[in-house]
Amino acid sequence: MAFSSNDGGGKPMAAINVVPLVDVMLVLLIIFMVTAPLMTHRVQVDLPEADLVERPEAGPAPPITIAITEQGNVFLNDQPVSLAQLESALSVEAQKTPQPPVNVRGDRTTKYRIVNEVVTIAQTQGMRKVGFVATVESN
């Protein structure tokens, strides 16, 4: 029989076999004894030191206004520019942090093709905030 007792009561005797538990504990002890000296070896790293001087927060950048007339003339902040000049100016502005928003204004009769060219130029130069300016008429 697997379970037997000597008291003659006929009850099965249940006992936990602790030998596998002791084996596992000894293996874990050996692993920790081997790895503990390896963890004391430290690599010297020169970390940068942070200065606690508060820097003034940069306010929002003033928006860039691009106006387009009916004839297709383009104005950057009320200064006439060509599309090539606009492209180079927007590529410089796209590198700034924080990046200024771009507001595109068009006359009522401006062709959409010209507005689309200007918006495409702004987006290809990396400008993330491109919006449109409209006037509200009250009747």
- Our count of domains for the chain comes to 1
Indicate whether 37 belongs to any domain. Answer: no
pLDDT of residue 1: 46
Q: Encode pLDDT of 32-58 as tens digits.
A: 998 888 777 777 878 778 777 776 676
Could you tell me the CATH number of the domain that includes residue 89?
3.30.420.270
Burial class of residue 36 in the structure, from the number of CB atoms within 10 Å of its CB (0-12 exposed, 13-18 middle, 19+ buried): exposed
Contact 105, 133 (CB under 8 A): yes
Indicate whether 21 belongs to any domain. Answer: no
Indicate whether 82 belongs to any domain. Answer: yes
Indicate whether 121 belongs to any domain. Answer: yes
Residue 98, domain extent: 64-133
Using alpha carbons only, what angle is made at residue 122 by residues 65 and 131, rounded to the nearest 5 degrees? 50
Q: Encode pLDDT of 80-112 as tens digits.
A: 999 999 999 999 999 988 889 999 998 888 888
pTM: 0.56
Which of helix, strand or coil describes residue 13?
Answer: coil
